[in-house]
Structure 1
Amino acid sequence: MKKNIAILFIFFACCKSSQAQNTFRIFSPDSSLRVEINIQQEFSYTLFAGNQRLLHCPYLDLQVDGSKLLSNKPAVAKHRLIYKKDLITVPVAYRNKEIRTAYNEITIQLKKPLSVQFRLYNEGMAYRIGLNFKDSVYIQNELASFQVDPASAVWYSQIDKRAGFDKFHSSFEGIYKKQAFDSLHDSMFTYAPLTIALPGKHRLAITDANLLDYPGMFLKKSGDLLEAEFAPYPAKEEMTAGEFPQLLVTERENYIAKTSGKRMLPWRAVLVATEDIGLPANDLVYCLADPPAMKDFSWVRPGKGTDEWTTGINLFDVPFVAGINTATYKYYIDFAKRFGFTQIMLDAGWSDYKNLFKINPALNMPELIQYAKEREIGLMLWSLASTLDEQSDSALAMFQSWGIQSIMTDFMDRDDQKMVQFYERIAKACAKHKIAIMFHGAYPPKGFNRTWPNVLTHEGVMGAEFTSGATW
């Protein structure tokens, strides 16, 4: 009983609200962070660490049917405070097998079909907007703003519009550069996460989390603010020409999402650390994501493997012609077995790019599959995203019958709502056939690997493949 009273006392001490019902204050469980929420003409909040202001949001809003629903003194109907302590078991361990977490949360229900929910962890803060409409809704825009000390430094990857593509097409593989915030131009445009070094010891990372059925968040410079921007929903798409065709958005709608009228939108999160190493070790995004979508992911087996892309599948001093053929991949299997790898990659070319059932005639797949099985080496198969989407049910069933445990898909280069739905659809289809997947040229995972642990990697860094023929 005494323990329960103590917890209740801490809870009310950490979560305070004013009687006026338009200002609220919430603390992290260890009281190192606090958020002050102010609902006046705009819905705003400020994040503090002690007496230091880390970040200010002058407005957040949601535009539906041409109206901004959180502007013009939105009236509060009620609010609810909770404290939660949790032990999260990670089905496919990536940094930890378990994550101990705790947070204070406030949900502010407005006298509109909207709520705003804030969570404060010791590792940072997050908020999200909740919808309570009768029917599905078209969201024209979501507004989010972030103001930091102009003397801060930021790390970001500039997105420069490519010829023939709009600015929302990106492989998310850019070089990150450091720049003083007050020297940023209004042409600055990047994807989340964006990292900030405040004057003093604090480091922040701004991102979104639990990205499902919604576009990802980009960030742009606007005066003294960083503002969110979202890719509008595709109205028209065309398949590009060339060796690796992909769907190009040629026209967009005047809304960013059509979605259920009763749901929580993705989180807008700010990770907080007092030293650089604290950000990559921060589990906030994982904790904010939905739990695993299926009960059993024990069949997922991460590992290390070979890839032939950077070497052009070239081999020297071998008694056969190197290339996409049975002898070459047997050599790779032997190499993997000798050096402790768990799998090899069959990259682009093992099948027709537009038809996963049309196998390269130089490959004897039954022989190769048996050879790998006898040596306990897995085969990972490359696929073009548009082809995998068209043939997913039948192709994944074929892969499962072959004993394939993981695949890679490539050339998405977008994170509008339609593309995010593709990720969900493919992750679910792969899980049905007990196949793990790696997305290449992908937007950051944003917690997706918690909901779908069979998604091993969102590969979007400027990695080893860029060293081939590089001049930098």
Structure 2
Amino acid sequence: MKSELLLLLSLVFFSCGKNETLDVSSPDAKNKIHFSINEKGNVFYEIQSVGRPVLSKSVMGFTLKKTDLSEGFEVLSSSTTTHSSVWETVWGKHQTITNHYNELTLHLKQKQSGILLDLIARAYDDGIAFRYVFPEQEGLKEFIIMDEKTEFNFAGDYKAWWNFADYDNYEKEYYNSPITSIGDTVNFARRPDKEERANMCNTPLTIEVSDDLVISIHEADLTDYAGMNLLNQKNGPNLKAHLTPWMNGDLVRAKTPFQSPWRTVQIGENAGDLVESNLIMNLNPPNVYKNTDWIETYTYIGIWWELHIGKTSWAEKTQFGKPLPKTRPHGATTENAKYHIDFASEHGIKDVLIEGWDKGWDDMTGSWTGYGIFDWSTSTSDFDIQEVCDYAKKKGVRMMMYHETISDIDHYEPRMDTLFKMCRDLGIKTVKVGYTGDVNYDYDKNTYRQHHHGQYMVRHYKKMIQTAGKHELLIVNHEPIKFTGEQRTYPNIMAREGVRGQEYNAWSKGNSPEHGVVLPFTRILGGPIDFTPGIFEVMLPQRKWAKFEIRVRTTVAKQLAYYLTMFSPIQMLADLPENYKGKPAFEFLKNVPTNWSETKVLNAKIGDYYTVARKERGTDNWYLGSITDENTRQLTVKLDFLDPDKTYEATIYADGKDADWVTNPYPVEISKKKVTSKDKLDIKLATSGGQAIAFIAQ
């Protein structure tokens, strides 16, 4: 007891010293965050990994509307704790997750204003995180953040993988460059976009520090705050937090007690370590639902791809002010829905997504925006939602609801509770909610009133998830805010698009062969995506207006491998049903799991290749996906992830002879062989090719 008291007194004395310096290290002692305060009371942090600088001395603080909180701070006290626990996911890439960290809390006071501000830092074996906390206090009640000053000052001008920041859209191409070239609109904007922010990027931002050190900058537990972008300050490899604003320039409107999201730095020896990391989810609160039996993972088909490739239309009679041509009729008819339901029932597929079933599509004119034009509960004249849902139930299938809000939050949010109750009454399990267009756009005033990634929409998305949970519904979002690990707290938020996904291949120059081997180490680090893989007919109908070739820039085998590499608990079999009929490779899509107990990255190089193995939850079966960029690859993988006491039958779906994404994308060679954990496999990948393997325990 005496020794503990002496230790406590020495800690208090040390933490009250002038020019205070405090730090905390990860349980394995490899990762360390170090704080310091200079004579002016400016607060700084720096991060090291295995003794090497990752982030050099970096500024912290805020500017409030009435107060500058960037200097004049003193340390009142500090404390450290250690936490270690194990929790189980409802679904995910791992069944059990260890949450083990050392935590430092630094209590600060600004001398002039008397405002109290806490810094909390957590050091994990797979990274560092810190957040700001404004405790309840007499001197600060309600306040507005006008600037978050957090900087990320890198020790060198390392190679970065980034895409342009945009207050309303995350569906961007990825680039790689030195940190000092991030957001360079002159050299990297292949298609100039008025919404792309010069010298700014989204998060996650992934940085290759060296051959044995890779990091990713992101945020966790984004709650009642504005989404963070990163501003290239052009004064060296130095980035600064740049929050998405309200339309009047406010960044965050708050009242004490209040806390920021975690600022996260995932750290790994290689890119695969970032994929296997659970840092982002560990920083979110535990699951709020006592009963999760209603939450499930699965694959689905739908009336979707045919809309994008121009076979049918979302609208019933007119779209964007023009009559529908006879060559492109309405897609969401009762007859077409039953055709898809029959196919799903025959092949054991649980859900059929139906887009364009409701009133409102005919009323859009000129763009994907609208104000008060959608009903969300009334069917078009050629679609009977009750009949379709009843028919699906008889076939052991469900309709997946689609609500395209056109970002008309003023009208959609007040109706969510009623609409979600309607869905549950119809036997619907999952609602896909889209947010194309400008938030609360008003045609009459020719203006919109919010940004997608600001505090207003962060609040909306949380309310939507909570309302869906009340009715035991699952949510898939398109045009969303980014994932920051909230699927731990609300495991009914299954997937968020927020990515330049498959549909871009249907009506634009498409996604490059490299795109698929960048996403696992960038966007997907935030959380699962709805990428909509599984296109077998990769050569698409050409559009009269297009001055470029419209097609999918992969082999068919790579589309199979995407079900392992593009992590999601709800995966779409995106192609038309008729394109799957008679195709042996379709067996893989019918049987591929969507929930995993283990994930192991076998090899990875950002932008080049990626091989991942995942163990099916509840069985001893494993599945492997391997993909490459525009180059052919021959990779050798050890099968030591398999159970050493079992023999497996491996069914291999590989790029066939002479497969090439440009000239011959279709061949898929299917073979079987017996393997054990002592074996190795040679994986041969065609240009923009892939390989998918099912290891079934015998």
| Shorter-chain TM-score range | 0.7 to 0.9
Deviations 1:27-56 (A, max 9, x none): 100111111111223211111112210112
Whole-angstrom distance in 2 between the partners of 1:357 and 1:36: 55
Amino acid at match of 2:267: V
Match of 1:231 in 2: 244
Q: How far apart, in 2, do the equivalents of 1:442 and 1:355 lie?
A: 21
Distance 2:102 2:282 in 1: 13
Q: Distance in 2 between matches of 1:458 and 1:323?
A: 24
CA distance in 2, matches of 1:466, 1:390: 32
Shift of 1:25: 1.7
| Superposition deviation, residue 232 in structure 1 | 1.8
Q: Post-superposition shift, 1:339?
A: 2.5
Select the structure that is richer in strand: 1
Amino acid at match of 1:378: R
- For the pair 1:201 / 2:212, whether they are aligned, the reply is yes
5+ long unaligned stretches in structure 2: 4-12, 110-114, 185-197, 313-328, 362-373, 437-450, 511-698
2:227 matched residue in structure 1: 216
Alpha carbons 1:352, 1:358 under 8 Å: kept: no
1:314/1:322 contact within 8 Å kept = no
Structure 2 residue 468 is matched with structure 1 residue 468: no
Question: Counterpart amino acid of 1:228?
Answer: A
1:40-87 per-position Cα deviation (integer Å, ceiling 9, x unaligned)? 232111111122101124211122233222413x11111111000011
The 3-state SS of whatever aligns with 2:36 is strand
Kept in 2: contact 1:310–1:464 (CA 8 A): no
Higher relative contact order (CA 8 A, sep 6+): 1
Q: 1:352 aligns with which of 353, 360, 379?
A: 360
Q: Deviations over 1:402-450 (max 9, x none)?
A: 1111101112671100000000111111111111111101122101211
Do structure 1's residue 270 and structure 2's residue 308 form an aligned pair? no
In structure 2, the residue matched to 1:305 is 300
The answer to whether structure 1 residue 336 and structure 2 residue 341 are counterparts is no
Q: Which of 35, 38, 51 does residue 36 from structure 2 map onto?
A: 38
Q: Which residue of structure 2 lines up, in the alignment, with residue 424 of structure 1?
A: 462
SS at match of 1:468: helix
Whether contact under 8 Å (2:31, 2:50) holds in the other structure is yes
Number of equivalences:
433
* Corresponding residue number in structure 2 for 1:56: 56
How many angstroms does 1:158 deviate by? Answer: 1.5
- Aligned equivalents of 1:214, 1:338: Cα separation in 2: 46
Q: Which has the larger radius of gyration?
A: 2
Query: Hey, what's the Cα distance between the residues in 2 that align with 1:349 and 1:179?
Result: 44
Work out whether residues 332 and 356 of structure 2, in 8 Å CA contact, stay in contact via their aligned partners in 1. no
Moved more, 102-111 or 385-394: 385-394
Distance 1:471 1:253, change over 3 A: closer
2:426 to 402, 415, 423: 402
Aligned counterparts of 1:367 and 1:259: Cα–Cα separation in 2: 47
Q: Identify the residue that residue 261 of structure 1 maps to in structure 2.
A: 256
What secondary structure sits across from 1:438 in the alignment? strand
CA contact (8 A) 2:430 2:475 kept: yes
Of 311, 326, 332, which aligns to 1:324?
A: 332
Q: Answer whether contact 1:47 1:54 (CA < 8 A) is retained.
A: yes
Supply the distance in 2 between the matched residues of 1:19 and 1:130 (Cα, whole angstroms): 19
Q: Distance in 2 between matches of 1:182 and 1:461?
A: 24
Establish whether residue 445 from structure 1 lines up as the match of residue 483 from structure 2.
yes
Counterpart for residue 243 of structure 1: none
Paired residues of 1:342 and 1:376 also in contact (CA < 8 A)? yes
The separation in 2 between residues aligned to 1:300 and 1:69, in whole angstroms, is 44
CA contact (8 A) 1:150 1:182 kept: no
Taking structure 1 as reference, are residues 348 and 322 closer, same or farther at Cα in structure 2, changes over 3 Å only?
closer
Tell me if structure 2 keeps the 8 A contact 1:26–1:36.
yes
Counterpart-to-counterpart distance in 1, 2:389 and 2:504: 30
Aligned pair 1:288/2:308, yes or no? no
The separation in 2 between residues aligned to 1:471 and 1:369, in whole angstroms, is: 37
Alignment TM-score, normalising by the size of structure 1: 0.86
2:115 is equivalent to residue 77 of structure 1: no
CA contact (8 A) 2:211 2:270 kept: no
The code of the aligned residue for 2:504 comes to F
Between the aligned partners of 1:375 and 1:48, the Cα distance in structure 2 is 58
Cross-structure match for 2:364: none
SS at match of 1:356: coil
Q: Of residues 391, 396, 417 in structure 2, which corresponds to 1:371? A: 391
Q: Does 1:122 align with 2:125?
A: yes
Q: Distance in 1 between matches of 2:249 and 2:384?
A: 50
Aligned to 1:162: none
Amino acid corresponding to residue 330 of structure 1 in structure 2:
K
**Residues 391, 184 of structure 1: alpha-carbon distance in 2 compared, 3 angstrom cutoff:** closer
Instruction: Answer yes or no: is 1:20 the counterpart of 2:17.
Output: yes
1:179 to 2:197 alignment: no
% identity of equivalent residues: 22
Conservation of the 8 A alpha-carbon contact between 1:108 and 1:116: yes
Name whichever of 210-219 and 461-470 sits farther off. 461-470
Mind listing any 5+ residue stretches in structure 1 that lack a counterpart?
6-15, 160-166, 234-251, 316-320
Aligned to 1:97: 95
Q: Does 1:169 align with 2:168?
A: yes
One-letter amino acid of the structure 2 residue matched with residue 109 of structure 1: H
Q: Verify the 8 A CA contact 2:341 2:392 in the aligned structure 1.
A: yes
Q: What TM-score results when the alignment is normalised by the length of structure 2?
A: 0.59
Q: 1:377-414 CA deviation, whole Å, 9 max, x = no partner?
A: 12111112325323112111111111111101112671
Mapped contact 2:164–2:183 kept (Cα < 8 A): no
Q: Could you tell me which amino acid in structure 2 is paired with residue 31 of structure 1?
A: A
Cα contact 2:44–2:59 (8 A) shared by 1: yes
Contact map agreement 2:83 2:101 (CA 8 A) in 1: yes
- The answer to whether the Cα contact below 8 Å between 1:209 and 1:289 also exists between their aligned partners in 2 is yes
SS in 1 for 2:472: coil
1:18 positional shift = 6.2
Contact 1:149 1:198 in 2 (8 A): no
Using the TM superposition, give the Cα deviation of residue 185 of structure 1 relative to its aligned residue in structure 2, in angstroms.
Answer: 5.7
Q: What is the rounded CA distance, in whole Å, between the counterparts of 1:106 and 1:297 in structure 2?
A: 33
Partner of 2:296, secondary structure, is: coil
Q: Root-mean-square deviation (CA), in Å?
A: 2.8
Question: SS at 1:137's partner residue?
Answer: strand
CA change 1:398–1:81 in 2 (3 A) is same
Quick one: distance in 1 between partners of 2:120 and 2:168? 31
